Homo-oligomer: A and B are copies of this chain.
Amino acid sequence: MLCNLIVWCGRRAKQDESLVKRIKVLLIMAKAQVLYDFTAEPGNKELSVREGETITLLDQTVGGGWIQVQNSSGQSGLVPEGYLQVVGDIIDSWSGAEAFTHTQQAAQDDGEWDDEWDQQSEGGYHVDGNGEEEGGASDRSTHTSSMKISLNKFSFAKGPSPEVFLLAQPLANRERLPVYMGEVGPVWLYPATPLHCVVADPKKESKLYGLKSFIEYQITPTTTSRPVNHRYKHFDWLYERLLEKFGSMVPIPPLPDKQVTGRFADDFIRMRMEQLQVWMTRMCRHPVVSLSDVFQFFLTYRDEKEWKAGKRKAERDEMVGPMIFSLIEPAAPELEPGDVEHICEQYSHFTKAMEDGIRELLNVGHTHWKRCTGPLPKEYQRIGRAFQTLSTVFSSSRYPGEDTLTDAMIAAGQTYEEIAQMVTQQPQKDLHFLMETNSEYRGLLGALPPITALHKAAGEKVKEAERLVCAGKINHTEKLSMKQRLSSMSYTLQAEMNHFHSNRIYDYNRVMQLYLQEQADFYQQIADKLRGALRQFTTL
C-alpha cells in the first residue's frame, strides 16, 4: 500500500487502449464525496457543496484546480478539486498504481483532451492522436494525469495520508528546507533578495497553419531579466507540479481564472494577464516555492529542448506529497503531539473564520459592484437628465432673465451625468483590488484545509503508535521517529502560517489603504464637481 503510494508518482507504462478508455469513462462520470464545505462565490459559476455530500464529476478538464460537478438536485458548477474525494468503489476496483498508470496513458493518447484548454479549435477541427508538435507526449499528458493524481491524493482515505512521510526511510543526503525560530516563532529561511517577475505582453500565437491559436505571455524574472514565453496551459502545468510537490505544506492558490469562452477578447486577455501576475507574484513571495527547481525552471528555461527535458524531470520528481516534510529540519526542540494538535486546531479555526469573513466581504462587494455599475449611476444619469429637461422647458418660457438659471441647471445636469460616469468606473479603481485580494486569499485559505487535515491525521497516527508497537507493526525507534517527524510537520505548518500572516498583514494593509485612498479621492472629486456646478448659480 505505502509502496503503491510512492510508486504512482513517477511511473509510466504502455497499456491496452480499450482498457484505458474504460477507465477514463469511469473516471469522467465518477462520483466524489465532498471533504469540506465550499461556498460558491456569486457570479463565478461555482457550486456550493457541503461536507459529506456525494456529487457527480462532470468535467475534470476545466483546469486551474477546478472541477465541474453536479449535485443530487441536478445543479452543476465548479468546485475546487482539493475539496473532493473520488468515491472508493470506482478507484478501488483497480489497484492504485496501475489505475493511475492507465489513466496517465489514456491522456497521452488523446491530444484534444489537453489542447481544448487554451486553444480555439476553429471550424470544429480537432487534432487527433499524435498530431501535436509542442511539448511532445509528456506535455500532452500532463494536465489530465496531474488532475487525476491530485484527486487521487485524497482518494485512499478521508484526507491526505501522512504515513508516507511518518514511516518513510530516512533520506540519503539531499537538499534541505530549513525552519528557523524567528521573533514570531518558526519561520522559513527567506532569500536576501526577494524574487519578482513581470507577466506582460500577451501575444496571440498560432500553430498548425493557423488552425489552432493561443495566447502567449512573456514572463520576466528579476533574477535573469530574460523573458520566457508561456501559454496558460504551461501555468496550469506549473500549478499542478507545485500542488503535487508542495500542496501538503504550502497553500497553492488555484490559478485565478477558469473562463473558457471569449478567450481572445482584449478585456479578457488583460484580466487573465493581471490575474496570472497576481498568482506569479504570490508564488515568487514564497521562499520555498520560489527557490524550488520546478519554479526556477519555469522562469529560466532557455529553449524548447530544455523545456521538454525539464518538464520530464519535474514530472519524475519523487519528493512530492507528504514526502516533502522529509526535507524539513527545524532548529528547535521537539514538540509534544498535544501541542501539535492544539496549534493545528487554532490554525483551522482561524482559516474557517477568515474564510467566512472574506466570503461576506466578497458577497457585499459583489452586490455593491452591481449597484455601482447598474442602478446607481442610472439614477444619477436620470437626475442629471431631469435637470437638463427642466432647463430646456424653462428656456422655452420666453420670460426674460431665464438664462442664468437655465445655463446653471444644464451644468448641474451635466455634473450628475459625469458623476454617473464616475460611479460606474469607480469599482474598477478600488473595489476591484479589494475583491481581487480577497479572492486570492480565499484561494489560499481554500488550499489550507487539506494541509491542516494532513497534520491532524498525522497526529492521530502518532497517537496510535503505541498500539502499533504492541502489535509489532513498528518498533520503538520508529515510534520515536514518527513523533519527531510530526514535530517537524508542525514546525513547517507554523512557519507556513507565519508566512501567511506576515503576508496577510502586508497585503491587507496595502489593499485597505489603496481602497480608502481611492474612495476618498472619488468622493472628493464629486464634492469638487458639485461645488463647480453650484458656482454657476446666481447668489441669492
On whether the beta carbons of A361 and B386 are closer than 8 Å, the reply is yes
A385 to chain B minimum Cβ distance, whole angstroms, is 8
Contact A409 B512 (CB under 8 A): yes
Among B386, B412, B523, contact of A530 (Cβ-Cβ < 8 Å): B523
Chain A stretch 124-174: residues in CB contact (< 8 A) with chain B = none
Alpha-carbon distance between A524 and B532 when the two chains are bound, in angstroms: 13
A296 to B386, CA, bound (A): 38
Which residues of chain A (382-415) have a CB below 8 Å from chain B?
382-383, 385-387, 389-390, 392-394, 396-402, 404-405, 408-409, 412
A398: B residues at CB distance < 8 A: 346
Q: Is A498 an interface residue (CB 8 A)?
A: yes
How would you classify the secondary structure of chain A's contact residues: helix, strand, loop or mixed? helix
Q: Tell me if A2 counts as interface (CB < 8 A to partner B).
A: no
User: What 1/0 flags go to A365-382 for Cβ under 8 Å of B?
Assistant: 101100100011001001
- A509 and B400 in contact, given A519-B530, A530-B516, A530-B523 (Cβ under 8 angstroms): no
Quick one: given A350-B396, A354-B390, A357-B389, are A513 and B534 in contact (CB under 8 Å)?
A: yes
Instruction: Name A467-512 residues within 8 Å CB distance of B.
Output: 498, 501-502, 504-505, 508-510, 512
Q: Is the CB of A386 within 8 A of B412?
A: no
Asked whether any CB of chain B lies closer than 8 Å to the CB of A358, the reply is yes
Contact A408 B512 (CB under 8 A): yes
Least Cβ distance of A483 to chain B in Å? Answer: 25
CA distance A402 to B354 in the complex (A): 14
A278 at the interface (CB under 8 A from B): no
A517 at the interface (CB under 8 A from B): yes
Question: Which B residues lie within 8 Å of A19 (CB)?
Answer: none
Considering only CB atoms, which chain B residue lies closest to A540 in the complex? B510
A393 and B353 in contact, given A360-B382, A371-B375 (Cβ under 8 angstroms) = yes
Is the CB of A527 closer than 8 A to any CB of chain B? Answer: yes
A:326-378 near B, CB below 8 Å: 346, 349-350, 353-354, 356-358, 360-361, 364-365, 367-368, 371, 375-376
- A132 to chain B minimum Cβ distance, whole angstroms, is 46
Contact A357 B376 (CB under 8 A): no
Give the docked Cα–Cα distance between A523 and B530 (Å).
9
- Whether the Cβ atoms of A364 and B383 lie closer than 8 Å is yes
Answer whether residue A181 sits at the interface, using C-beta atoms and an 8 A cutoff: no
Contact of A353 among B360, B396, B530, B533 (CB under 8 A): B396
Known contacts A399-B184, A509-B540, A357 near B393 by CB under 8 Å: yes
How far is it, in angstroms, between the C-alpha of A538 and the C-alpha of B505 when the chains are bound? 11
Does A183 make an interface contact (CB < 8 A)?
yes
Distance in angstroms between the alpha carbons of A520 and B528 in the assembled complex: 7
Judged by a CB distance under 8 angstroms, whether A314 is at the interface is no
B364–A386 touching, CB < 8 Å: yes
Question: Is A361 a contact of B387 with CB atoms below 8 Å?
Answer: yes
Give A residues with C-beta under 8 Å from B. Answer: 183-184, 346, 349-350, 353-354, 356-358, 360-361, 364-365, 367-368, 371, 375-376, 379, 382-383, 385-387, 389-390, 392-394, 396-402, 404-405, 408-409, 412, 498, 501-502, 504-505, 508-510, 512-513, 516-517, 519-524, 526-527, 530-531, 533-534, 537-538, 540
Give me 26 A-to-B residue pairs in the complex whose CB atoms sit less than 8 angstroms apart, sorted by A's number: A350-B397, A354-B390, A357-B386, A357-B389, A360-B385, A364-B386, A367-B379, A368-B379, A376-B376, A394-B504, A399-B505, A401-B505, A404-B509, A405-B508, A405-B509, A405-B512, A408-B512, A509-B538, A512-B537, A516-B537, A519-B530, A520-B531, A520-B534, A522-B527, A523-B524, A523-B530
Besides A509-B537, A523-B524, 19 other A-B contacts (C-beta < 8 A):
A184-B401, A350-B393, A354-B390, A356-B393, A358-B390, A360-B386, A364-B382, A364-B386, A371-B379, A387-B512, A390-B508, A399-B498, A402-B501, A409-B512, A509-B540, A517-B534, A520-B530, A523-B523, A523-B526
